[in-house]
Amino acid sequence: MSPELTGQSRWFAANLQPHEAMLRAWLKSRFPSGLDLDDVIQEAYLRVFRAYEKREVKAPKAFLFATARNVALNAIRSATVRGEGQMATFEDLEILDEDEDIQETVSRNQELETLTVAIQSLPARCRRVFTLCKVYGMTPKEIASELGLSLPTVYTQLSIGVDKCSEYLRSCSRIRTL
């Protein structure tokens, strides 16, 4: 990063900008094609940044996604009220979970983000084995064949991965309760 960036610019570049591609793909998969994603993303950036200026944003990625979803829903509502285009109904979008409120969603996203960090902190081979098993659902035998490892090595790496991730998550929960 260049030294002339302000603290706010560094925060934006570190906490929001890296998620743009994922946010764009997520919005594209959940909203009608008539929605202007550039406008939605820019408005979401603006709202999150304004919130950051007023108070600390503890989970910027989760807050950005929730904000973008709200901006997109508002755009759809506005277009519907104005009678623009053939927009999908909210039921067709399958994005509103009436059983969850925003705090539960943000909390779940924070937990997933913490788990992702835990997995990323694993050594490379351990992370690969752990991800193939726990994320992609491969059996230890399939992993051994795929990676050219012995079956005992796969079991050892899985055990190490579970132990280290559990330890990381416990340390995070201790920090939160302090």
Question: Of 50, 81, 96, which residue sits at a domain end?
Answer: 96
Task: Tally the domains of the chain.
Answer: 2
Rounded average pLDDT over 145-161: 93
What is this structure's pTM? 0.46
| pLDDT band of 28, cuts 50, 70, 90 | confident
Residues 58 and 9 in one domain: yes
For residues 5 and 91, state if they share a domain.
yes
Same domain, 79 and 125: no
User: Is there a single domain that holds both residue 73 and residue 146?
Assistant: no
Considering the domain architecture, whether residues 31 and 80 belong to the same structural domain is answered as yes
- Residues 7 and 34 grouped into a single domain: yes
Task: Clarify whether residues 155 and 89 are in a common domain.
Answer: no
Residue 136 and residue 89 share a domain: no
Higher pLDDT, 102 or 99: 102
**At 149, which CATH number?**
1.10.10.10
What is the band of 87 on the pLDDT scale with cuts at 50, 70, 90?
A: very low
3-state secondary structure the chain: CCCCCCHHHHHHHHHCHHHHHHHHHHHHHHCCCCCCHHHHHHHHHHHHHHHHHHCCCCCHHHHHHHHHHHHHHHHHHHHHHHCCCCCCCHHHHCCCCCCCCHHHHHHHHHHHHHHHHHHHCCCHHHHHHHHHHHCCCCCHHHHHHHHCCCHHHHHHHHHHHHHHHHHHHHHHHHHHHC
Q: Are residues 123 and 48 in the same domain?
A: no
41 and 76 belong to one structural domain: yes
| Higher-scoring residue by pLDDT: 81, 24 | 24
Q: State whether 12 and 28 are in the same domain.
A: yes
The pLDDT of residue 149 is 93
* pLDDT over threshold 60, residue 170: yes
Among 14-23, 44-53, 92-101, whose mean pLDDT is lowest?
92-101
Last residue within a domain, chosen from 96, 127, 158: 96
Please check whether residues 84 and 145 belong to one and the same domain.
Answer: no
**Which residue, of 71, 96, 121, is where some domain finishes?**
96
Q: What is the domain-level CATH number for residue 59? A: 1.10.1740
Range of the domain at 22: 1-96
